[in-house]
A and B are shown apart, each in its own frame.
Chain A
Amino acid sequence: MSDNKDPQVTPDIPASGEPGRVRRDTTAQVRSTLAKRYAAEKRFRFYGIAAICASLAFLVVLLTSIFIKGWPAFTHAYVKMNITLDADTLELSENPGAEELRAANYGGVIKKSLQEKFPEVKKRKEKKALYALLSNSGEYLLSDMVIANPDLIGQTIEVWLPADDETGALLKSNHDLSKPDTIVTRMSDQQIAMTKTLQDAGETDVRFNKTFFTAGDSREPEQAGIRAALIGSALTLLVTFLLSFPIAVAAAIYLEEFAPQNRWTDLVEVNINNLAAVPSIVFGLLGLAVFINYFHLPRSAPVVGGIVLSLMTLPTIIIASRAALKAVPPSIREAGRGLGASDQQVVWHHVLPLAMPGILTGTIIGLAQALGETAPLLMIGMVAFIVDVPQGFTDAATVLPVQVFLWADSPERAFVEKTSAAIIVLLVFLILMNAIAVLLRKKFERRW
């Protein structure tokens, strides 16, 4: 604003003499606009602070809502049961084999023991309501225990079995169970009363939900875990890193250090910049056409996901690496050559180590993008229901953001908390990745 006034000062200056008056005029002019300029300055800073505050506020709202919703997923309610593993109810023969032990009627012994706790429940419908209090994962738990130790058959054991998702939600909340009318739940009043009986007897407990970190996906919220998706993401990103990092750095070094400036290198450069802006679904279509349909790589495998995502990450890393290489002062290269180093030695010994922090930053940005990507994976079959934790690069796998999407789309209400918990795990993964980058950067950082 004050700039606009300045030209008006000039005509007032007489062509000859009286320098004193000129000074006084300018000073007066400056003084009169000073307050305005200070105000503008303050406003400008205020806008900046306001922008930061607004974005922080959004972030805080987002994170708080995710944490509040997701926190309950890290705990689960368990019910103490005394289970008699008698061979008759289990429908086992004299000397059962492994196959028979696996297929035994574990549901039957659990139902029997529930029945003993609530002998007054007789009607078929009521019984069904009673059995629904516990998760059916109890059967698999018992099955694992018995297979590991067949001597348990015939004994009565005390185990804590996981509650069903809705019973669990009720026990984890602070509702007053004696007033069922005040609770919004799909459970019947009778089920709430039974839950209260168990709670009053001290036979329920809320514990850390280990299953969430050890299991793969499940259609029962209380049995669903993040492990398969986490391992899937790790494997996919490993492939992405192993492919994109060396290729991108090699490309950047050649383009920056060795390539002549001509039409061809210009063309390559334009194309790299364009690739960085291509929507990710396009890479998915390419992956489907080339890697799956032509090279016959397996569908849904982390190796294909990794290759597709590395195509997407390559331009980001190349651009960042080139910028980092460009920032290394030419004097370093000249000094190296002056001492008799070959071009290759100059790059490996001097330029690359100095550019490493910048290259790593670019790599992490690229990988973080790849970590959050779902669209290209849809085309190559990684949006899938995966229960078994993937063991290698060719096993069927899914990734964290896909798991978030699949859970958000599930009808069972307890998946709401799982969705948020999966987001928390995704964020922690991202923070860890960034932390590693910061550490590496610290290690490589050199000043000149």
Chain B
Amino acid sequence: MNRLSSAISVAVLSVGISTSAVARDYISIVGSSTVYPFATVVAERFGKVTNFKTPKIESTGSGGGLKLFCSGIGVDTPDITNSSRRIKQSEFDMCQQNGVTDVVEVLIGFDGIAIANSIDAEQFNMSTKDLFLALAAEVPNPDGSDTLVPNPYKVWSEINPDLPEIDIEVMGPPPTSGTRDAFVELAMEGGCNNFDLIKGLDKDEHKRVCHTMREDGAYVEAGENDNLIVQKLEANPDALGIFGFSFLEQNDDKVQSSVIDGFEADFDSIADGDYAISRPLYFYVKAQHAGTVPGINEYLAEFTKESAWGDDGYLADKGMIPLDEDARESVGEAVRSLTVLEAIE
């Protein structure tokens, strides 16, 4: 028993010693769960075709990623953060304060948010205004008076006579999800600005009305897992679902996109900006790390290769909507020269 105890203490000690901080020989990436599926494909390729180690990618969400990214310089901070929105002024300031002065911004493409239903049901054709009326907690009074009332609509055809006469039931992500944030900002906000009454409200009140989803059961929070929403749509042809475009693409034999403001979510309509509910995807690189952590320049080169982010690249195969050619050229040039982001205009 004495020998056993000394063996254990030696083992514990050696674990303790081996943990002293070591230089990192792989790229550390954090950030958005929306960019995660695209960044991971690039990272995997990068690890296989070069001699560098495969980068480590954590899915922390855009905000969490930027917080880690801007916390300072050094091997224990991430080199790259993915984001499904642009960096905010406050985050940029935090970066500067903590010594992260050389940040390179890379716009990589777009992600669409699909409103879809089962392929066995009739395709929806509506506007963002209809979506707002169907899903907001408070809407302008249907009798035409200048007041806001709790959402009275139960059936789609009450909102727009062209829509089917079925109960409003939309399954979507909970408030913690980035997809939900984007949906609210793009679709709900876009829809609610159609009303002069709401446009006239002061800023806080405007935000509250436009961004609050109804909670009387017509909008169902179906969890963060988009696969689950697809399965539920398959089982319930009367319901609509809100999820990322890549899930629509992977399940196009089961679900169909609704037509929003005249366009359904597909590759071309999102790339051309015709489909309203799409958002830009970014990542931010710490240029100060480019010399110390091996492989950063090569990773950037892999990401901005035509065979990766181009029209026929492997990222497009995974459901990312590419930039147009001119934008790819200018962003690519900025990445090669590691052009530092000076300010957010």
In the complex, the answer to whether A298 meets B76 with C-beta atoms within 8 Å is yes
The contact of A219 among B18, B30, B41, by CB within 8 Å, is B41
> Assuming the A-B contacts A242-B12, A409-B227, A411-B246, are A296 and B253 also in contact, with contact meaning beta carbons closer than 8 angstroms in the complex?
no
| Closest chain A CB from B235 CB (angstroms) | 14
In the complex, the answer to whether B19 meets A411 with C-beta atoms within 8 Å is no
The contact of A299 among B28, B44, B49, by CB within 8 Å, is B28
**B46-89 contact mask (Cβ, 8 Å, vs A): 1 or 0:** 01110101101111000000000000000010000000000000
Q: List chain B residues, Cβ under 8 A from A46.
A: none
| Closest chain A CB from B95 CB (angstroms) | 18
Closest residue of chain A to B22 (Cβ to Cβ) is: A394
Once bound together, how far apart are the Cα atoms of A299 and B58, in whole Å? Answer: 10
Q: List chain A residues, Cβ under 8 A from B53.
A: 388
In the complex, the answer to whether B37 meets A300 with C-beta atoms within 8 Å is no
> Assuming the A-B contacts A296-B76, A385-B36, are A411 and B48 also in contact, with contact meaning beta carbons closer than 8 angstroms in the complex?
no
| Closest chain B CB from A430 CB (angstroms) | 24
**B9 at the binding interface (Cβ < 8 Å):** yes
Closest residue of chain B to A349 (Cβ to Cβ) is: B1
List A residues 189-248 near B (Cβ within 8 Å): 216-220, 239, 242-243, 245-246
| Closest chain B CB from A297 CB (angstroms) | 5
Q: List chain B residues, Cβ under 8 A from A303.
A: 15, 18-19
Q: List chain B residues, Cβ under 8 A from A219.
A: 37, 40-41, 44, 318
Which one of B18, B54, B252 has the highest number of Cβ atoms from chain A below 10 Å of its Cβ? B54
In the complex, the answer to whether B253 meets A184 with C-beta atoms within 8 Å is yes
Once bound together, how far apart are the Cα atoms of A416 and B231, in whole Å? Answer: 12
**B1-43 contact mask (Cβ, 8 Å, vs A): 1 or 0:** 1100100110110010011011010101010000011001101
In the complex, the answer to whether B319 meets A386 with C-beta atoms within 8 Å is no
Closest residue of chain B to A347 (Cβ to Cβ) is: B1
Q: List chain A residues, Cβ under 8 A from B54.
A: 216, 386-388
Closest residue of chain A to B36 (Cβ to Cβ) is: A385
Size band of the interface chain A makes with B = 35 or more
In the complex, the answer to whether B58 meets A393 with C-beta atoms within 8 Å is no
Closest residue of chain A to B41 (Cβ to Cβ) is: A219
Once bound together, how far apart are the Cα atoms of A164 and B297, in whole Å? Answer: 31
Q: List chain A residues, Cβ under 8 A from B253.
A: 184-186
Once bound together, how far apart are the Cα atoms of A243 and B43, in whole Å? Answer: 34
In the complex, the answer to whether A387 meets B44 with C-beta atoms within 8 Å is yes
**B225 at the binding interface (Cβ < 8 Å):** yes
> Assuming the A-B contacts A186-B250, A186-B252, A242-B8, are A385 and B56 also in contact, with contact meaning beta carbons closer than 8 angstroms in the complex?
yes
Once bound together, how far apart are the Cα atoms of A210 and B30, in whole Å? Answer: 30
| Closest chain A CB from B102 CB (angstroms) | 22
Q: List chain A residues, Cβ under 8 A from B138.
A: none
> Assuming the A-B contacts A239-B15, A387-B47, A394-B19, are A352 and B1 also in contact, with contact meaning beta carbons closer than 8 angstroms in the complex?
yes
Once bound together, how far apart are the Cα atoms of A393 and B15, in whole Å? Answer: 8
List A residues 337-388 near B (Cβ within 8 Å): 348-349, 352, 381, 383-388
Q: List chain A residues, Cβ under 8 A from B22.
A: 298, 394
The contact of B37 among A296, A387, A410, by CB within 8 Å, is A410
In the complex, the answer to whether A348 meets B8 with C-beta atoms within 8 Å is no
Once bound together, how far apart are the Cα atoms of A187 and B209, in whole Å? Answer: 44
Once bound together, how far apart are the Cα atoms of A303 and B56, in whole Å? Answer: 16
Q: List chain B residues, Cβ under 8 A from A243.
A: 12, 15
In the complex, the answer to whether A413 meets B250 with C-beta atoms within 8 Å is yes
**A408 at the binding interface (Cβ < 8 Å):** yes
Q: Would you list 20 pairs from A and B whose C-beta atoms are within 8 A, ordered by A residue?
A: A102-B51, A186-B253, A220-B44, A242-B12, A242-B15, A243-B12, A246-B5, A299-B58, A300-B58, A303-B15, A306-B15, A383-B59, A384-B56, A384-B57, A385-B40, A388-B53, A393-B18, A409-B227, A410-B227, A411-B244
A residues with CB within 8 A of B:
99, 102-103, 140, 184-186, 216-220, 239, 242-243, 245-246, 292, 296-301, 303, 306, 348-349, 352, 381, 383-388, 392-394, 396, 406, 408-413, 416
